[in-house]
Structure 1
Amino acid sequence: MIILGEDSQRTQGKDAQSMNITAGKAVAESVRTTLGPKGMDKMLVDSSGGVVVTNDGVTILKEMDIDHPAANMIVEVSETQEDEVGDGTTTAVVIAGELLDQAEELIDQDVHATTIAQGFRQAAEKAKEVLEDNAIDVSAEDRETLVKIASTAMTGKGAESAKDLLAELVVDAVLAVQDEDSIDTDNVSVEKVVGGSIDNSELIEGVVVDKERVDENMPYMVEDANVAVIDGALEVRETEIDAEVNVTDPDQLQQFLDREEKELKEMVDKLVDKDVDVVFVGDGIDDMAQHYLAKAGIIAARRVKDSDLKRIARSTGGKVVGSVDDLDEGDIGFAGSVAQKDIGGDERLFVEDVEDAKSVTLVLRGGTEHVVDEVERAVEDALGVVRTTLEDGKVLPGGGAPETELSLQLRDFAGSVGGREQLAIEAFADALDVVPRTLAENAGLDPIDSLVDLRQKHDSGQFAAGLDAYSGEVIDMEEEGVVEPLRVKTQAIESATEAAVMILRIDDVIAAGDLKGGGSDDGDDEDMPPGGGMGGMGGGMGGMGGMGGAM
C-alpha cells in the first residue's frame, strides 16, 4: 500500500542513521580548525558578495547556508551555547560531532541506538558532577580573575592583539551595569568605529548615541545637563480619523498655521519650564519646534532607537515618557556632560559623567570594517563569560584540562555500570578527548604526545593540568590564569549530548516533497544515494556547497 505522495522520500534504518550522523559530523568538522588559541579563521562569502572573516563558531554556522535537517540540529547546539553562556560554541559543536562519530562505531557493532543514548545521558550527568566538584570559586571582588576570564575568551580571536586592554574594559562594563540580583549585558552598548587601532578602544560611562543635533544652531555641548527622554514626537498631533480642513480665505489659513506654531511653542516652553537642557525623542521633531528648541539653547535628537532611549534613561536616572505633557520633575535624568563629538569621521552624541552609570558604551576601534566586526564578536563572548562567572561564581581551568579529567574519570565510572551502557560511557569518554587533541592539532603539535602528557599529569591528581598551545608544554592552567566559567563546559556537554541523542534516535526520515540537496540541477534524482534528497551530503551539505571556496 502506498501512503506517501509521489514526491515524498523515505530513508529507513541504518541508512537514515548513517545519513544523519554524517551530516552532524560534517558540521563539526567545518568548525574544528577554529578551536583554541591557535585556531584558524574562515572566510565566508554570501551570494551577494558580502564577506565575513571569523573563527567564532556560532557566526560561521549561522553564515553557512545549511539545508540538512540533522545538520541544523547541531547548529542549534551552537546557538543555545551562545544564548546561555556567550562562549564555547565551537567546543559544544565539536563534542557533538565526536559523540556521533563514536556512536556510529557502536552501531556498527550492533549496539542499539537506545542503549547508546542511555549511556550518553548517564555519562553527561556524571561529567557535570565531576566538573561541579572540581570548580574553583570566584567572587565579584576578585577582579584579577575576572580579567583573566575575559582575556581567555578573546584569546585566538581577532581582538587578541589588544586583549589585555579589552579585558579590562569588559570587566569594568559588566561591573558597572550589575544590579543586585541580575546582570543584563544588553545595558552594555557596543559602538563600532572604523579608524584608528584596537588600542584606541574605550569605555564611556554613559551612552553614545549614533545621532546628531537636529539643528546647527543648537549648542555643541551642555554641562550639568537635565535630560528628558520622550518616546513620542515633538509635532502637532494628527487627528485619529481622516479629516479635511476647508480653508475659504487666506486669513483662515494663517490662523491655522499660527495655531500649529503656538502649540509647538507651548511644547518647547514646557521643556524650558522644567529646566531641560537636552531632549532625546523617539519620533520626529517639527521644523518649527527645532527652531524654538535651538532658540532656548536645548540640544535635541530625533528618531532615537527604543533601545538607546532606555539606555539613556537608565544611565541618567530618568524615565522614558510618552509625550511632553507626561513629563514630571522625577522623570528628568542628569548627566555631567552631553556633547556632540567627532569619532572616526562620524558625529555622535555622548551622554557622559553620569552619577551611577547603569548603562555604559564600549567604543571599539579598528583599521578596517572586518577587523572591527571580529573585535565586536570577541568582546561579546567576553561579556558573556564575565556575566556568567559573576552569576555562578565558579570557574574551571582551560587548555583541555576538564575534558582530560572527565575522560579518565568516565572510564573508571564505566566499569561500575553494568550492561552495554558501559560501552557508550567509554565512547563518551573517548569523544571528550577530541578537545585536547584538536587544541594540539591546531597548534601544530603532536596530538598523541600531548594526550599522553595530559593523562599522565591528571593520573597524578593535577586537575588543572592543561595544554599550553604556545609552548606545547602541559602546565597548571589555574596558575597561568587560563580559566573559563563552569557553565561554559556544563552547557556544552549538556547541549552536545542532547543533540547527539536526538539524532541517534532517528531511524526513519520521511521528506514530504523534494528537499533542496545535492541532486542534479535538472531535478533528476535517480542517481542519488539513499537519502540524498535530505540535504544531499554529496552536494556539499546542501547549501554549504554554495559557500564555494570559503571552507
Structure 2
Amino acid sequence: MCGSLLNVCKSLLDKNIHCQKISESFFEASVKSEEILRNMSIPIDLNDKNILIQNAITSLNSKVVSHNSSLLAPIAVDVILKITDINKDRNVDLNNIRIVKKLGGTIEDTEIVDGLIFTSNKISKRAHGIKNLSEAKIGLIQFCLSLPKTDMDNTVVVKDYNSMDKLLREERLIIGKMIKKIASTGCNLLLIQKSILRDAVNDLALDFLAKAKIMVIKDIEREDIEFISKTCNCVPIASLDYFTPDKLGYAESVVTESIGYGEIVKITGVESKNTISVLLRASNNLMLDEAERSLHDALCVVRSLIKEKAILPGGAAPEMELSQKLYQWANTLKGSKQICVKAFSDALELIPYTLAENAGLSPLHIVTELRNKHAEGHKYYGINIRTGTISNMIDENVIQPLLVTSTAIKLATETVMMILKIDDTVICR
C-alpha cells in the first residue's frame, strides 16, 4: 500500500503539485478513510467465540499450515481468553504467552499448558535424581552453583597430592554449604539462570542437589526470567544470602513426560492466572517454525479484536469500498486537493488487484467486476479466491479485524508523508 501511494505521488509531483500539499491531502484522506471504515464495520460480541475463531482462521488460510487452521485458530482464541478479561482489558500482552517448540509428533498434538514447559536440554539428569514432584516449592536463582573463578592475573599452583586433596575437599565444602542453605528453605525445585561467564551449576553441585531430593532445571534464558517469575509467583534471587522461603514460588505438580525425540517437564497448578504456555509440535523443523509464526499471527489477530471490537469483510472489500467513497468525497473538494485525494483512492485499488493476481485470476476482469458491485452499493462484496468469483464476504465468513485495515492505511500514509519531507539524500558507505 505504501509503495502504491508513493507511485501516485510521483505522478502528482510531475504535475508540479507541492509535496506539502500532497502530504496534507493524504492525511485528510487517511482520516476520512478511518471514518468510512468505521461506518462499514460490524460490531462484535467478544463472548461469541465463533467470531474470534473465524477471524483467526482467515489469517491462517494464507499460511503453509492452512490445513491445520481449524486446530490452531481455537488454540489462539483460548490462549487469549485465558489471560484476558474481555469485559475490562483493552489490550493483550503477548509476552504473557510462551510458545515452546518440540520436535516430534504432528501439529494436531499441540496443546495448551496452564503453567510452564521446559524441554529436555534444560533438564538435569542424575541416576538418583527425581523426575516428578507434588506441591513443589520453586526457587529461581541468578547466581552460579560452582566455584568462583580467579582473576585473569591470578593463578593457583598445586605442587603435591596433599594440596590437591585439600583443594577438592574445600570445593566440596563450599558447594555443600550452598546446597544445605538452599535445602533448609524447603525448596525442592531449583530453576537456574544460564551464565555466560562460567558453568551456572557444576557436576558436583548437581550430585549434591540430587541427594538432597531437589529437582533441577538449568540454563534458563535471561529473557524467560520475568515470565517464570510471574507464572510461579517467585522472586528471582541474585545471591545466596537472599535465598529465603518467602521468595519461593509454588506449583501443585511437576511431571516429566517422554514425547517426540526427548523429554519435557510440565509445571502445572501455579498461582498465576495471567500467563499461559503452548506446547507446539510438528514432524520437522520447517513445519515447527512455520507453525510458530502462524500461531503468532493468529494471536495478533485476536488481540486486534480485543483492542477494537469490530470486524470488516475480507477479500479486499474494504479497500475497494474506500476507493469508491474517497473518489466521491474528492468531487466535493476543490483544486489540487481533489486531484491528490483521487490519486489516493486509485492507489487503494492495488490491494484487490494484487489479491486477484496472487490467486491466479484475471486482475483487470476481477477488479472491474468488483468496482461495479461496490458502485451498486454491495459494500461487503470481495474476491472469493476459492471460487474465483465476486461474492459477499460476510456470508462466506471471510472476515478480518477493523484495526488491521485502519492501522495499515494509517501507517502507510504516515510513511509516505515522512518520505515526502526528505529534500535530498547523501550517499555514504
**Aligning the two structures, in what range does the TM-score lie when normalised by the shorter sequence?**
0.7 to 0.9
What whole-Å deviation, never above 9, does each CA across 1:366-385 have from its counterpart, x for those lacking one? Answer: 33322222222211211112
Matched, 1:465 2:374: no
How far off its partner does 1:127 sit? 0.8
Matched position secondary structure for 2:293: helix
How far off its partner does 1:320 sit? 1.8
How far off its partner does 1:438 sit? 1.7
Question: Matches of residues 505-524 of structure 1 in structure 2 within 5 Å?
Answer: 505-506=421-422, 508-512=424-428
Question: Matches of residues 137-286 of structure 1 in structure 2 within 5 Å?
Answer: 137-178=43-84, 181=89, 182-210=91-119, 211-237=122-148, 254=165, 257-282=168-193, 283=195, 284-286=200-202
Aligned residue in 2 for 1:119: 25
How far off its partner does 1:136 sit? 3.0
Report the CA distance shift for 1:264/1:413 in structure 2 as closer, same or farther (over 3 A).
same
Question: Matches of residues 9-24 of structure 1 in structure 2 within 5 Å?
Answer: none
2:241 to 319, 322, 325: 325
2:410 to 494, 497, 501: 494
Q: Which region of structure 1 is more displaced relative to structure 2, 323-332 or 118-127?
A: 323-332
Aligned residue in 2 for 1:43: none
How far off its partner does 1:295 sit? 0.8
Question: In the aligned structure 2, how far is the partner of 1:171 from the partner of 1:321?
Answer: 35
How far off its partner does 1:162 sit? 0.2
Question: Matches of residues 286-301 of structure 1 in structure 2 within 5 Å?
Answer: 286-301=202-217
Aligned residue in 2 for 1:128: 34
Question: In the aligned structure 2, how far is the partner of 1:242 from the partner of 1:175?
Answer: 56
Matched, 1:103 2:9: yes
Question: In the aligned structure 1, how far is the partner of 2:310 from the partner of 2:178?
Answer: 53
Matched position secondary structure for 2:386: coil
Aligned residue in 2 for 1:480: 396
Question: In the aligned structure 1, how far is the partner of 2:95 from the partner of 2:326?
Answer: 39
Alignment check: 8 A CA contact 1:206 1:312 kept: no
- Aligned pair count reads 419
Question: In the aligned structure 1, how far is the partner of 2:393 from the partner of 2:299?
Answer: 21
How far off its partner does 1:236 sit? 4.1
Alignment check: 8 A CA contact 1:187 1:311 kept: yes
Alignment check: 8 A CA contact 2:186 2:245 kept: no
Alignment RMSD: 2.8
Question: In the aligned structure 1, how far is the partner of 2:245 from the partner of 2:305?
Answer: 39
Question: In the aligned structure 2, how far is the partner of 1:317 from the partner of 1:260?
Answer: 33
TM-score by length of 1: 0.69
Alignment check: 8 A CA contact 1:400 1:439 kept: yes
Report the CA distance shift for 1:457/1:336 in structure 2 as closer, same or farther (over 3 A).
farther
Matched position secondary structure for 1:303: strand
Matched, 1:420 2:420: no
How far off its partner does 1:109 sit? 3.6
Alignment check: 8 A CA contact 1:146 1:171 kept: yes
Report the CA distance shift for 1:225/1:498 in structure 2 as closer, same or farther (over 3 A).
same
Matched position secondary structure for 1:404: helix
Report the CA distance shift for 1:157/1:291 in structure 2 as closer, same or farther (over 3 A).
same
Which residue identity does 1:117 align to in structure 2? Answer: S
How far off its partner does 1:186 sit? 1.9
Matched position secondary structure for 2:64: coil
How far off its partner does 1:479 sit? 4.0
TM-score by length of 2: 0.87
Aligned residue in 2 for 1:350: 266
How far off its partner does 1:347 sit? 3.2
Which residue identity does 2:10 align to in structure 1? Answer: E
Question: Matches of residues 377-396 of structure 1 in structure 2 within 5 Å?
Answer: 377-396=293-312
Report the CA distance shift for 1:271/1:142 in structure 2 as closer, same or farther (over 3 A).
farther
Matched, 1:503 2:419: yes
Matched position secondary structure for 1:320: coil
How far off its partner does 1:244 sit? 6.5
Question: In the aligned structure 1, how far is the partner of 2:6 from the partner of 2:93?
Answer: 35
Question: In the aligned structure 1, how far is the partner of 2:257 from the partner of 2:154?
Answer: 43
Structure 1 unaligned spans of 5+: 1-94, 516-551
Alignment check: 8 A CA contact 2:230 2:272 kept: no
Question: In the aligned structure 2, how far is the partner of 1:235 from the partner of 1:370?
Answer: 38
Report the CA distance shift for 1:122/1:382 in structure 2 as closer, same or farther (over 3 A).
same
Alignment check: 8 A CA contact 1:214 1:301 kept: no
Matched position secondary structure for 1:233: coil
Alignment check: 8 A CA contact 1:177 1:185 kept: no
Question: In the aligned structure 1, how far is the partner of 2:252 from the partner of 2:394?
Answer: 42
Matched position secondary structure for 1:167: helix
Alignment check: 8 A CA contact 2:231 2:274 kept: yes
Alignment check: 8 A CA contact 2:53 2:77 kept: yes
Matched position secondary structure for 1:321: coil
Aligned residue in 2 for 1:441: 357
Aligned residue in 1 for 2:283: 367
Question: In the aligned structure 1, how far is the partner of 2:152 from the partner of 2:16?
Answer: 73
Aligned residue in 2 for 1:338: 254
Structure 2 unaligned spans of 5+: none
